């Protein structure tokens, strides 16, 4: 799996935020549609039903604050041997009939996204929801490259730009 913007991309699915484990909540995007995961959730919508997908409360501070936060987190893990869960944000999935909000965890190291990746990810979510971009583009990249891990920042931004402008 590889992190590109707000997305955690694998060979057969894409998660907004980190891939949830156990009973944790999450949002999975696949060729078939959008799924809200987690205890008591189990909701699924086809792409034809989805009219909007938005991310709210995503941690996006300045670059300097991000570096300080990552350094502090790394030092805390070294000293205590224990780390905390990454920060959460919410994903709102809307259809004509309902709007569902799902909490997800950040997939990025340090839990704080770069502003450029956040903005491109939001644009991509809008294009996925309105059907002008297909999730298959992300999945094709995942099948070919996700096993290599998260690409460098410049490559992540180029991918997001390509998918958001497709």
Model confidence over 27-43: pLDDT tens digits? 999 999 999 998 667 89
Residue 132 lies in a domain: yes
Q: Which pLDDT does position 166 carry in this prediction?
A: 72
Domain that holds residue 12: 2-154
Residue 165 lies in a domain: no
% of the chain at pLDDT higher than 90:
71
- By CB atoms closer than 10 A (0-12, 13-18, 19+), residue 123 is middle
Give the pLDDT confidence of 143-165 residue by residue, as tens digits: 999 999 999 999 999 999 999 99
Give the pLDDT confidence of 101-133 residue by residue, as tens digits: 999 999 887 788 999 999 999 999 999 999 999
Is the C-alpha dihedral spanning 121, 76, 149, 38 positive or negative?
A: negative
Torsion over CA of 23, 29, 35 and 38, rounded to 10 degrees?
Answer: 10
User: How many domains is the chain partitioned into structurally?
Assistant: 1
Residue 161 lies in a domain: no
Using pLDDT thresholds of 50, 70 and 90, give the confidence band for residue 14: very high
Residue 162 lies in a domain: no
């Amino acid at each position: 799996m590889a992190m590109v913007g707000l997305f955690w991309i694998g060979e057969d699915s894409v998660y907004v935020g980190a891939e949830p484990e156990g009973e944790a909540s999450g949002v999975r995007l696949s060729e078939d549609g959008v799924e809200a995961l987690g205890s008591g959730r189990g909701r699924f919508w086809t792409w034809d039903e989805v009219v909007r997908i938005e991310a709210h409360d995503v941690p996006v501070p300045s670059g300097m604050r991000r570096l300080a936060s990552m350094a502090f987190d790394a030092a805390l893990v070294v000293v205590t041997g224990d780390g905390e869960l990454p920060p959460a944000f919410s994903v709102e999935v809307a259809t004509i009939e309902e709007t569902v909000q799902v909490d997800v965890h950040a997939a990025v190291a340090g839990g704080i996204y770069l502003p450029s990746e956040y903005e491109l990810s939001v644009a991509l979510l809008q294009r996925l929801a309105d059907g002008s971009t297909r999730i298959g583009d992300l999945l094709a990249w995942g099948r070919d490259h996700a096993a290599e891990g998260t690409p460098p920042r410049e490559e992540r931004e180029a991918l997001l730009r390509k998918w958001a402008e497709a």
